Structure 1
Amino acid sequence: MENARIGGWQFFLLVFNFTIGTAFFLRPGGMIAAAKQDAWLVPLWAGGAVILIACLWLILAERNPGLSIVQICIKAAGNKIGGLIALLYISFFIQTASWVTRNLGDFMKSTLMPNTPISVFHFMFLIVVCYASVKGVESIARVNEFLSPVVVLILVTICLFAVSEWRWERFEPMFRLNVWETVKETKAIIGFPFLEVITLMMLVPYVKSRVKTALLLGIGLATLLLSGIIFVTIGVLGVTRASHFTYPLFIIAQELRITEFIERVETTIVIVWLVWIFVKLCITYHCAVTGICQLFRLSDRTWIAIPLMLLVSGLAITFSDNVVENIEWDKRYIFQYASIYGVVLPVLLLILTWIRRGREAA
């Protein structure tokens, strides 16, 4: 295993940035379309549910101290079955990295550079991410720690300036949603971004202290921020406008006027999103590389990280033809797909761990 150590504060920032990552740009429009003026409540119940699920992940980690999720699979289920489950997790990390890469390409091509081939954006980011993965988790954590205050400050500043366009009547009537129907329509948010946080169980063995606090607070703070972003989006754009945009937060930044001569500040929100995409992609990519090395007992990450760029970029291109198709797939299937890795397999591994411990005690 990689010889690295990160602090509880660094792990908290990794959890927070990974969770909020691409969700703060992609989720508001769909949530507002489904839950109307009460959409800001959706991340609260979804995040609360996943905090409970995260307690399950922590119990699994406590029963297998010092092991990543891939190593836990092998220890709990044996080399053959455990290796197969570990391979499933590695494929999940790779697919998540591919989705993040595709989200980047779709955004850049549809809003900023429509004539540039989408694969150019993919490789521009993946080359840097590959280098970061080779350098290790400590380097990723330090860069993330340095960039976090900057991107949060930029995002909060934009939201504060956007309040000048705020209209409270856009929330009327409030609290009229059908709870059960809304849960069914918005359950995809549990899969993305919240259940994807299972990826960070690959990093738990490197954390020096306060793993529980960092994980739960990271998810909780990301939940509050996502809810706040949706709340601001409704207040500024209104339900009708916000639900018809793929990237409503980008529209807010595009229309924002801070003074008479400072306009079109959307480049700042693009910087925020690119930083968060970079962090999330670094984590998923590094976890995929680390998982492969742990499963096949390889010591050199470099020769895994480099060819993985081609696989991730290829998968990113083949996922869908356009962003609308990608969003539709997410709405229909992401909850079921992510639940396999975030709920079903951890429960299975925990049961197998208890059985193994019972046999050892006997």
Structure 2
Amino acid sequence: MLERGKVTNRQAAFLLMFTTVIATAVLFVPAITAAAAKQDGWLSLLVVATTYGLVVALVIVKLGLRFPDKTLVEYAPLVLGPFLGKLVGAGYIFWFVHVNAIIVREFGDFLLSAFLPETPLMAFNIILLLLAALAVKSGLEVICRANEFIIPLFFLSLAAIVALVAHNADFSNLLPLLEKGFKPVLRGGLAPSGWRGEIVVMMMILPYINYPDKTGRYLAASVVLIGVVLSLATVMTTAVMGGLTEHLTFPFFSLARYIAVARFLERMEVLILVMWVAGVTIKVAVFYYAAALGAGQLLGLRDYRPVVLPIGVILAAWSHGLYEDARELVVWLATIWPPYAYTFELIIPSLLLLVAVLRKKGGAHVGR
């Protein structure tokens, strides 16, 4: 094993996956969902995306339990044969790196748009990647422990923003419920489902979890909690901003800027900044770790750490050239991201599970 550490289900399946999904979704999802589902966007997040996330969780946990000591990159060749299996492993490494480049770019675009418009984008990206690389080199246990420190910070920030903006909320903006039926709700759940399915990165972490037979319930709880938190954020954003929500690039950030209590409690968007920087650093570290670990396993290395620097260079260059601006990124997330995400989050894992069952690979058949 290239990773010697062990983590608990609470640390990895519940808390780490919560941060991995929520860190970027909380800023982008309300606008993308509102564009399709209007005032019913919260239903898209609570029902549609949560259902999708639970299905993804079921598939990846079943795969993990069939191959309890192996990551996706290790068991794909056992299921599909050496050539096709390694090709699938390489495809996932590419996907982890690409998604991470998008996350890094989201980080930079947000800081440019909201706080420091004169700062070079590459400066933000490099600082973030240096922090993430340090975490990746320290190992999975360190990433999980750092996340345990960040989680209370996130919930305190979220609670403060919701509480302070509540008096400005007009909940009639959420009515009428299901005005145009359930189809807009389904459409509104397409892109957020792709975010929820990012828990697929657990396929690279499952072998290092104590008591993997309990992982399913922790992962399911994380998926549901993500749905509740994102729905709450969308409800409050829609209640305050109304129809303006779908036209804002970062609606939840705009919600925080709306706060002004007794003329002395203002500039609460700093809470969003703290939450965003901390959460995104963990999220980038998780995808960075998955890519580095997978590359090390694919190349037959004894340690994944030698590939951390090369992957970091690729991430820095790729994230810088992905899009012209945040608006172009939002369009990509709303249109291209859903089918791209579904392919790696659900379609390929489902096919792997089906072939493993049909060919009697894994479980009681390991080594046969």
Alignment of structure 1 residues 180-259 onto 2, 5 Å? 180-191=183-194, 193-209=195-211, 210-238=214-242, 240-259=243-262
Name the residue aligned to 1:86: 89
Give the letter for the 2:9 counterpart.
G
Q: Distance in 2 between matches of 1:303 and 1:135?
A: 13
Query: Which contiguous aligned blocks of 4+ residues in structure 1 show a shift greater than 3 angstroms?
Result: 358-362
Per-residue deviation, residues 232-272 of structure 1 (Å, max 9, x unmatched): 1111221x222221111111111201333121111111111
* Alignment root-mean-square deviation, CA: 1.7
Using the TM superposition, give the Cα deviation of residue 115 of structure 1 relative to its aligned residue in structure 2, in angstroms: 1.0
Aligned residue pair count: 360
Greater displacement, 68-77 / 123-132: 68-77
Match of 2:164 among 161, 165, 178: 161
Q: Distance in 2 between matches of 1:342 and 1:33?
A: 24
Q: Scaled by the length of structure 2, what TM-score is found?
A: 0.94
The structure-2 alpha-carbon separation of the partners of 1:184 and 1:151, relative to structure 1 and needing over 3 Å to count, comes to closer
- Percentage identity across aligned positions? 27
Give the letter for the 2:116 counterpart.
M
Using the TM superposition, give the Cα deviation of residue 195 of structure 1 relative to its aligned residue in structure 2, in angstroms: 1.8
Name the residue aligned to 1:27: 29
Structure 2: unaligned runs, 5 residues or longer: none
Match of 1:118 among 116, 121, 132: 121
Using the TM superposition, give the Cα deviation of residue 177 of structure 1 relative to its aligned residue in structure 2, in angstroms: 3.0
Q: Distance in 2 between matches of 1:33 and 1:353?
A: 40
Q: Distance in 1 between matches of 2:240 and 2:234?
A: 10
Q: Is the 8 A contact 1:242 1:248 kept in 2?
A: yes
Using the TM superposition, give the Cα deviation of residue 139 of structure 1 relative to its aligned residue in structure 2, in angstroms: 0.3
Using the TM superposition, give the Cα deviation of residue 150 of structure 1 relative to its aligned residue in structure 2, in angstroms: 1.6
Q: Distance in 1 between matches of 2:39 and 2:277?
A: 28
Using the TM superposition, give the Cα deviation of residue 354 of structure 1 relative to its aligned residue in structure 2, in angstroms: 2.1
1:325 aligns with 2:343: no
Match of 2:50 among 21, 43, 47: 47
Q: Is the 8 A contact 2:11 2:148 kept in 1?
A: yes
1:316 aligns with 2:319: yes
Give the letter for the 1:91 counterpart.
F
Q: Distance in 1 between matches of 2:180 and 2:321?
A: 37
Greater displacement, 194-203 / 99-108: 194-203
Q: Is the 8 A contact 1:188 1:334 kept in 2?
A: yes
Greater displacement, 75-84 / 119-128: 75-84
Q: Distance in 2 between matches of 1:310 and 1:344?
A: 30
Structure 1: unaligned runs, 5 residues or longer: none
Give the letter for the 1:188 counterpart.
A
Q: Scaled by the length of structure 1, what TM-score is found?
A: 0.95
Q: Secondary structure at the match of 1:21?
A: helix
The structure-2 alpha-carbon separation of the partners of 1:109 and 1:63, relative to structure 1 and needing over 3 Å to count, comes to same
Give the letter for the 2:26 counterpart.
F
Q: Is the 8 A contact 2:43 2:185 kept in 1?
A: no
Alignment of structure 1 residues 264-343 onto 2, 5 Å? 264-343=267-346
Q: Is the 8 A contact 1:15 1:214 kept in 2?
A: no
The structure-2 alpha-carbon separation of the partners of 1:252 and 1:181, relative to structure 1 and needing over 3 Å to count, comes to closer
Q: Is the 8 A contact 1:31 1:42 kept in 2?
A: yes
Q: Distance in 1 between matches of 2:240 and 2:354?
A: 48
Per-residue deviation, residues 140-162 of structure 1 (Å, max 9, x unmatched): 00000111112211111111111
Name the residue aligned to 1:5: 6
